[in-house]
Each structure stands twice: as C-alpha cells, then as structure tokens.
Structure 1
Amino acid sequence: MDLWYIDRYEKKEENQMKRMHFCTGIGLLLIVISAYPIFVLLRENIIDHNVTNRYDIHYAYQDKQGYEPAIDTQNINIFNHHIRIIEAKTGKHAPLTSWDKDENVPAGEIVNIQYQLDGRDLSSPSEVWLSNRERGGRYFSWLEILTVKDRKTDQNLVYIVQRITDDQISLEKSKWKIIRIHQDGTVKEKLLSYSDRSKDPLSVKLLNFSYVGGNSMGYHSDMYEVIPNVIFPLLYPLITVAVGCAIMIGILIIVIVQKIKGVRKSI
C-alpha cells in the first residue's frame, strides 16, 4: 500500500513538473516574441515624451480669429522678423490623383519657392506643389512655418520645414529642408533624410506636427504609426507580454510556496 502511494505521489509530482515546464516554455515564448515590439513602443513613447515636454510647438500663422491653421500667406512677421515666401512659376503642374479625377479638380501648380528673412535670401529655391484644394492651405503638406519654445534653454525659435521630394517618392526615400531661425536673425539649415531622422527627434516632431512629413513617421521605427486595432498592438504585443509575465510570476509563486512547504515538512 505504501509503495503504491509513493508511486502515485511521484507520478503526480512528475506530471506537475511537466505542466510547469510547459507553462514556463509558453510564458518565455510569449515574452520573447513580444520583447522587440515592446522595446520599440517604449523607445518611441519615451522620445516623444521628452520632446513634447521640452518644446512648445505652434503654427506661426494666425488667422483673423486667432486660430493657428496651416500657413496660407506669403508674408508673416514673427519675433520682430519678416519672413517672405516668393513663388516663381515653372509652367508645370502636379499630376492628378485618383481623387482629383473623381472630383474633377484641376491640377495644382508647381512653383519654385524662395524664402527671404528681412529682405535677404534664405536657402536656395526648390519646387513645391501648390494645393489644388481650397481646404488645408496653399502649401499644405509641403511647407510650414512654426514657432518653437525651448523650455530648457528659454529660447524662442522659428522653424521653416519643407518637403523637397514629391508625392511620387516613397516615405523611405523622402527628404526635407529644415531651416532654424534664432531671435537674433542667425539662420541654420540642414537637410534631413528619412534614414537619418533618428538623429533629430525635434525635426521629426515638427514634420509630424505640421503634416509636412507626408506620412506620419516614428523617431526610429514606423511600427506604431499604423492605425491601431484589436490585434495590433492590443492583442500583440501588449496582451501577449502581459500573459507571458503573468505565467512566469505564477510559476515563481508556486515554486516559492513549494519550497516553503518542503522546509516545514523537514522541520
């Protein structure tokens, strides 16, 4: 009878260990497959949190009602400086999209844009596709002028952001012109490419804020720029990593409880 009981107990212990090993494997698997997207999510959120907390961003242009729409004027005064947008006709028109054809909208003009700050030229002229719609502003998704308050240094800055690749170029090959104007009139210009965007989080924030990015993009990865749904990122990776961690914590508790019982029996 004692041998039968011992054998039954050992089989029970063996089955329990097998279940624990199986659950451990499932828990580790869920954590491993969720680790990278969770890391990407945390990194994107931390960078965005830091940029948002440091910089106060606004559209420079204000309409008569005091609202801040996309820029729809060629002359604007900011921080005692006058910025002018000069358009030069090229005789070219942007290709029509399927929506343009469906709504019978004429093609928008392509112009060369030259910026001036207090009468002196900024940067070199580059092409912009003017909007062929009444909504959204004349330069919508192509250029914008923004004011930026750096809370850390207490600086007030003006940024001109402009897309220099057209709608026929994929986001991965896109490039932008970033012009920074200080209150003393000092100007700095840089060319930002999609592949190098991680080096300049503020510029990424400005492009997304102003829709000049063309499409919304992440600081390092665009994984979380997709439209959220039940499967991603709710089910995977948020719920999968939560379930994986819950399983591992449960197993850890069981192991600790068993060790405590074993110590008590030995006493």
Structure 2
Amino acid sequence: MIPAAFDYTRPSTVDEAVAALAAGGEDAKVLAGGQSLIPVLRLRLAAPTVLVDLGGVGDLRGVRDDGDALVIGATTRHADLVRDPLVAEHAPLLAQAAAMVGDRQVRHLGTLGGSLSHADPAGDLPGVAVALDASFEIAGPGGRRTVGAGEFFVDFLTTALAPDEVLVSVRVPKLPGWTTHYEKFTRVAQAWAICGVAAAVRRENGSIAEARVALTNMGATPLRAGGVEQALAGASATVDAVASAAGRAAEGTDPPSDVFASAEYRGHLVTVLTKRAVLAAGGIG
C-alpha cells in the first residue's frame, strides 16, 4: 500500500527536531532508521501529518566512553553496536543482542533509539537495556531529563517519551567483574523473539554474588525476573542451583497468547531460556 500524504522535515540539531515535533503536535512522528515506522505507514496503521527525520542530526550518532559508563547516541545503528570496540569491551550483552535483531539489512538501517522508543515487548534491545540498568537522556521543549530503563517502558508500544520529546542518548553503565549472555528463541531465523532472556552475573569465591535477569515478550514491557535474581543471590555456582532459580522465571509475568505460542508455552520456555542464559553468563556447567 501507499502511505497517506505527510509533510517531511530534516532538522540538523536536537533543538530543531524538538521544535519540529512541538509544531507538529501529536500527529508528528520521528523517523530514525524507519524499520518499524515505514511498514506501519505503508499499511496505513499510522497516518502522521509530519515526519521529523533525525538522520541529519550528527550529535545523535556514535559511542563514547564517559568514565564509568558508555554513552550511545540514539541513532547509532545496530550494525555499529555489533562491531564497536567500546561496546564489545564494556557492554558485550548489547552487542550480542544487536547482532540478533532482524537481518543484515535491518541491522544496517535500524537504530538503538528507534528500537527502544518503539518499545515492542518482543524486541531484543529493551530487555537488554533493563538488564544493564541503562538510563535514557530525553530532550523536550522544557530542556533535558534522564529516565531509567525501568521507568522508560510504560506499556505495550508506549514509553515515557512525550509527543514533543526526542530520545538523545542511552547511558550504559560499565559492569566490571560481571559476565553476560542473551538467549532468544524464535519461530524462524530473523523473527521477533517468542521469548528472550538477558542475564548478567557477578561471581565471587565459587558463588553467584549477584545476578540480573530481564525477560523479553513475557508481558507488555520488558520485565526483571525478581524471583530468579533473589534465588541466585549468594547461591552456589552450580547447574542445580541455577536450574532451581530459573524455575521462578515466570513469576509475576503476563505473557501473551498469539499465533506463535500460548501463554503457557511461553511460561515454560522462559524457565528453559533463563537457565541457559544464566549458565552461559556465569560460565557454569
């Protein structure tokens, strides 16, 4: 199908982008990589009056070291995350998950900020952002503010972004002493996750001192598996201990039932993937 008619603007600064969104009102949309927006436009599931293309805002791209964290521009491509040496060194979980997004063509066009702002619960990167305790810098008419990943994802396809705000960057804390892994199950290659698990583990003296586990597609937003994290804290770094903790992965979740999997199946699958992810992250087995 052909999209409905719209106006198009390509600002060169963040302030210009915010002003364009404010002028366009609730019917304005941000265009980053377009991998989520363009299909929706073609199907006329959305009909914005204005598209604000962020491709000309150079300040929104790239990865930089900021002491105890990495700061990643919102329009940084997935493919850039996969091959960036700073991400590989300090946030390998993000690079691993970005390598699983769509296919090669999608990864060379899609952006980190676009994926996070779209907030599809089956997307790979929102759960990773939650597991890494990332925070988001947002620019709007009233200035800039910072929102943690746990508060950024509000509901299905809904974030804390106001219609006249732009996601500027993602701050990812470095996690020295932690090891990570992302486990994903799909119906076919290059598809959305039926279920996914992002795990980060810190070991001390043969035990798991601390763990973070975030779940993909187990509710309307990415979720922290609090029961698993509680069970793993101080547990021995053994297969049996991890398997026991993983059995709590579905607690407090509300997975969807759709043509790809039932809620019951996802509830079982998440325990399997959680065990795999934590074992791989912790080098256990």
Place the TM-score, normalised by the shorter chain, in its bin: under 0.3
Higher helix proportion (structure 1 or 2)? 1
The normalised TM-score by structure 2 is 0.21
Larger relative contact order, structure 1 or 2 (CA cutoff 8 Å, min sep 6): 1
The normalised TM-score by structure 1 is 0.22
Between structure 1 and structure 2, the one with the greater Rg is 1
